[in-house]
Amino acid sequence: MKRFSGKQLRGKRIVWPKKETVEIESFEIRDPEEKQVLIEAAKTAISPGTEIAFLRAMPNTPGKFPMYPGWCHAGTITQVGSKVTNFKIGDRVFSWSHHASHALASEERRVLPIPENLSFSRATFINLASIALLGIRRAQIELGESVAVIGQGPVGLLALQLAKLSGGLPVVGIDLIDRRLEVSSGYGADYTLNPNAHSFKNKVADITQGKGFNVIIEVTGNPEAIARSLKLAGKHARMVLLGSARGESRVNFYSDVHKKGVHMIGVHDSLRPCYESSAGRWTLKEDCNVIIALLSKDRLGVDELISEEVSFLDAPQAYKKIIENKETVITIVLNWVR
């Protein structure tokens, strides 16, 4: 095992010392334990929905600081523990590590190899895409069913593409931001709709032949949007709550759920087995390997999700841009190579 010699090296990482405050701090880089690998970051992606919610201590978040954010980390292994068997120094990998120049991770969990033809920037979206895939799997889309994806942020745009790959027809992207609808159209949406448009209800009726959607994937997590989205559901529709709700919704369950026979499906990544399953379900590792294959074969697009790539030193400004410029910014990738 390769060891550091001489003075202990120090890395850099992002920390939220308190609510709505982003800083960069130094930390000591430790040697890996027996079954750990040390990963030197190339790129990490900011997960705007969840990270911004946590940073702002919104409802249904921990609200405890300091906090070390991030779970979209791509880089190269620089050290391996004495009992590591699946990886070697120089391997390119994705991990669920924080935004940091170096990360320790167990080889048995939360580390995946990535192929040479998959760029580090694209690889940072493996986790976000696997979350979208979890929602699509739970929806059990059949060929020819109409699908509405409410919210065209990163996870919504990934869910829309996966719904189309799963046989959804038509697949409709819905968002309040026209720029995101443009990206949605570019990634294959059969229709894109802005719910603030006067023609919205008529267009939904035309698209669904007045029946409402068979499947709704709700990705905004906005309590009001969740309630409104239910009104788009047809009889016996499935509505997947993929976005984490940040507050309480007021729903008329009789008219919007009970009378139409709507099946509401809650989806959370913590409910999925990570690496082993005795129930025949898809595991996190299996889903991520599907995403890696789709990305490496250019069957899943993420380039248009990257509004900017900036140095990790500019992380405070990057978070500010995501919060203040929703009209133009989808997400930002941080570059750790200096």
Alpha carbon distance 51, 323 (integer Å): 11
CATH among 3.40.718.10, 3.10.129.10, 3.90.1750.10, 3.90.180.10 for 10-125+302-335: 3.90.180.10
Spell out the domain ranges in the chain.
10-125+302-335, 129-271
Contact call for residues 306 and 321 (beta carbons, < 8 A): no
Q: What is the pLDDT of residues 291-337, one digit of tens each?
A: 999 999 999 999 999 999 999 999 999 999 999 999 999 999 999 99
> What's the predicted TM-score (pTM) here?
0.94
3 state DSSP class of 326: coil
177 vs 56, 153, 197, 206, 230, CA distance in Å? 22, 10, 11, 22, 20
Domain 129-271 superfamily per CATH? NAD(P)-binding Rossmann-like Domain (3.40.50.720)
Q: Tens of pLDDT along 219-257? A: 998 888 888 999 999 999 999 999 888 888 888 888 989
> Residue for token digits 């009209």?
327
Examine the pLDDT at 279 and tell me if it is beyond 60.
no
Q: Is the dihedral of CA 90, 93, 99, 102 positive or negative?
A: negative
Question: What DSSP letter does each residue of 218-258 carry, written as one string?
Answer: E-S--HHHHHHHHTTEEEEEEEEE-SPP-S-----HIIIII
Residues 6 or more apart whose CB falls under 8 angstroms from that of 24 comprise 12, 13, 14, 15, 312, 313, 315, 316
